Amino acid sequence: DVAPSAAVGIEKDRFNRLEFDPVETPQVRLYVKLREGFSGGILEWRVE
């Protein structure tokens, strides 16, 4: 598991940056936990 190094943004209709310490892995899987009573989606995911 990887934990964010700062607070995670939740602004609507814009990129919200998430940073964590570098890791080496052959695969990446994204798990999303939605806020109660809200729907959500991922429009684009950038990995740098």
Kindly list the domain boundaries of the chain, sorted by start residue. 1-48
Residue 36: pLDDT above 80?
yes
In order, the DSSP letters of 18-43 are --------S-------PPTT-----S
Residue 23: pLDDT above 80?
yes
Q: Measured at the alpha carbon of residue 43, what is the angle toward residues 42 and 47, in degrees to the nearest 5?
A: 80
Residue 1: pLDDT above 80?
no
What is the pTM assigned to this prediction? 0.48
3-22 pLDDT, tens per residue?
A: 878 888 888 888 888 888 88
Where on the phi/psi map is residue 29: left (φ > 0), alpha (ψ -120 to 50), or beta? Answer: beta
pLDDT band at residue 26 under the 50/70/90 scheme: very high
